[in-house]
Structure 1
Amino acid sequence: MKEEIRILFTAIMFYTRIPCPSWVDHNEHYISRSIRYFPLIGWLVGAVVAVSFLLGDWLISPLTGIVFSLIASVLMTGAFHEDGFADVCDGFGGGWTKEKILEIMKDSRVGTYGVVGLALIFLLKISLLLQLVSLVGEFVLLATFVGAHAVSRFIASTVVFTHPYVRDNDNSKAKPVARQSGKFNLILAGVFGVLPVILLSLMTENYSLLGTIPLLYLVKMGLARYFTKWIGGYTGDCLGAVQQVTETAFYLFLLVIWKFTL
């Protein structure tokens, strides 16, 4: 039990900016196993995002609440996944060989492709969330936040089990995660990732929402296939990009399903 608690705290430390006890460190043994709690971190982030939306909505308007929710997500994770998404935009947008793509993604500076990519994905999230709150109301949107952050992290974590890791240098922050394997980690991550979507379906009595899970997996497979074509697998930045894209796709798929089934 103590070891499992340490793995959980390691996940919180690795995937968020939440302060952890001093005895939690960047031990690769625990980081590699912490992926099982990656979707559970989505529950935590989603809950804070939901509260932030309520605050902004109560103070000013739903649009302000949505912006507050995005700010809360970035602050909670230290823009961990957004940074990966921006690096992927820069790398695949500006590189034409595997070596060049990896070199660009390794650069800490953000280029034009990264800035444009972040701007567009944030605008798309705002647009979709505005439509969702007008269509299904605030209460359902709160549950949607938790579901989006949990299932997108689960989908991102499956890349580790289905595709090869391509960086060989020891400086990569994602290397300990990439080394992990084991069906137990995948199953537990799946439970934490899928359960909020199941609960959302039960709460709204719209079981068509469960169809978002295979759709998101198809999105992931498309992205992973693209990554593999150009660089032979994935990097930590690619995982961040998959999380961001599938989170946004979840809002999109929900909106389409609710629009035609409500």
Structure 2
Amino acid sequence: MNDIPASFVQALRFWSRLPVPAFDFEADPHGRPDMENLAPVTPLAGAVLGVVAAIVLVLASLLGLPATPSAIFAVAALVVMTGALHEDGLADLADGFGGGRTMERKLEIMRDSRIGSYGATTLVLGLAAKISLLAALVTATGAFWAGLVLLAAVAVSRIAGLLPLVLLPPARSDGAGAAAGRLSLDAWRLGGIPALIAGAVLAWLGTGHIAAILAPALGFLAAYGVARLAERQIGGQTGDVCGAAVMLAEIAFLAGALAPLGWHA
């Protein structure tokens, strides 16, 4: 891996809409991202977004808001910081896979900026799942510990969202997936393995249950499932596939952290 500070700044710029300035140590601040360099620091960029969302969650709780409104504000903070990039990917993927009969038609629908019934329904269910899981964690553990789990979920889900680039070729010759290209497994592991370990520890600390260490593995499994589904549906990956993988990995992580609390209720 090359210059870590420059790669981290580039990863933060890639994964968010935050106003990240150009720094003197960057050779080409607004050039095409090199995924081989971005992958190892992607969990760190995700952790920054997770910290902000966790702070919003804790502040909302300290202001006296119940668990559900606090969770809504935390999720809204994530949506604002990312420009709803992953939510858009999930909705486009649902529309394409649900409404298209051929690979070509599925890709055409996914590129359409309009949202259909499959996409709208999936988007609502996805946001509802994320908010309800986070609210349940706040109720069960308190806002601080739930925020710690949320931080881990956001960090792990970002590197999980790059799995389609490792497993699949681009499904079309242009677009975000083609621009990103393939990602080597070695580069992905540099971010994935530390994220797996740190995510497991934070999930355990946040919930107090050893079984919660499986949460990051469930996140990776969800992203893997999205990649394999995309392989069958469109023969490769696109930016929407990666966005959907991020969204579903985050939901799977939160569900994996929350489930042991129900076992011991």
Q: TM-score, normalised by structure 2?
A: 0.88
The reply to whether residue 126 of structure 1 matches residue 131 of structure 2 is yes
What is the CA–CA distance in structure 2 between the aligned matches of 1:20 and 1:82, rounded to whole Å?
22
Q: Which runs of 4+ in 1 moved over 6 A?
A: none
Number of corresponding residues: 260
Between stretches 95-104 and 61-70, larger displacement belongs to 61-70
Q: Which residue of structure 1 aligns with residue 229 of structure 2?
A: 226
The reply to whether residue 116 of structure 1 matches residue 121 of structure 2 is yes
The reply to whether residue 251 of structure 1 matches residue 215 of structure 2 is no
Contact 2:159–2:192 (Cα < 8 Å) also in 1: yes
Alignment of 1:1-262 (within 5 A): 3-22=3-22, 25-28=29-32, 30-59=34-63, 60-169=65-174, 172-181=175-184, 183-202=186-205, 204-261=207-264
Return the offset for 1:128. 1.7
Unaligned runs of 5+ in 1: none
Return the offset for 1:148. 0.8
Letter in 1 for 2:252: A
Structure 1 pair 186–28 and aligned structure 2 pair: CA distance change class (3 A):
farther
Return the offset for 1:107. 1.4
Between stretches 227-236 and 122-131, larger displacement belongs to 122-131
Letter in 2 for 1:105: M
Between stretches 191-200 and 156-165, larger displacement belongs to 191-200
Return the offset for 1:223. 2.2
For residues 60-112 of structure 1, the C-alpha deviation after alignment (integer angstroms, 9 at most, x for no partner) is 32222111101100111111111111111111121111001111111122222
Return the offset for 1:185. 4.2
Contact 1:32–1:179 (Cα < 8 Å) also in 2: no
What is the CA–CA distance in structure 2 between the aligned matches of 1:202 and 1:50, rounded to whole Å?
15
Identity of aligned residues (%): 33
Letter in 2 for 1:198: V
Unaligned runs of 5+ in 2: none
Q: TM-score, normalised by structure 1?
A: 0.89
Between stretches 137-146 and 206-215, larger displacement belongs to 206-215
Letter in 1 for 2:194: V
